[in-house]
Amino acid sequence: MAGPMRIRAASADGVTEVRVLMSHPMETGQRRDSSGEPIPAHYITELTAKHGDKTVLTAYMGPSVSTNPYLAFKFQGGAAGDTVQVSWVDNKGESRTDEVQIR
């Protein structure tokens, strides 16, 4: 299972900027280990970000995204003290949800 996400969110002039660093192996399924056996595919397929109950971002990923992906985005609204929640699901059915308060 992947570790926690590092999330930062800051609001200024009615725009909130969110930066997310996800801990995930993002294996393509095309590499081989030292004994020549294929390493099974293991990558994030969908990421969702919410501000309160409103979805502000949905991203679909695939095996071409690098290990420990970084994502930054902005959305209208949000104020200091509000919560931003980021969730992902991978191709093995594992999921993770973390949240942060906007500064």
User: What tens digit of pLDDT does each residue of 19-57 get?
Assistant: 999 999 999 999 999 999 999 999 999 999 999 999 999
Distance, in Å, from the CA atom of 8 to the CA atom of 21, rounded to the nearest integer, reads 9
Topology of 6-27+40-101 in CATH?
Immunoglobulin-like (2.60.40)
Is the pLDDT score of 4 beyond 70?
yes
The predicted model gives 54-61 an average pLDDT of 98
32 Cα distance to chain centroid: 26
pLDDT value of position 2: 72
| Residues in contact with 67: Cβ distance below 8 Å, sequence separation at least 6, in sequence order | 24, 25, 26
Band (3; pLDDT cuts 50, 70, 90): confident
pTM for this entry:
0.92
Is the pLDDT score of 1 beyond 70?
no
Residue type present at position 24: H
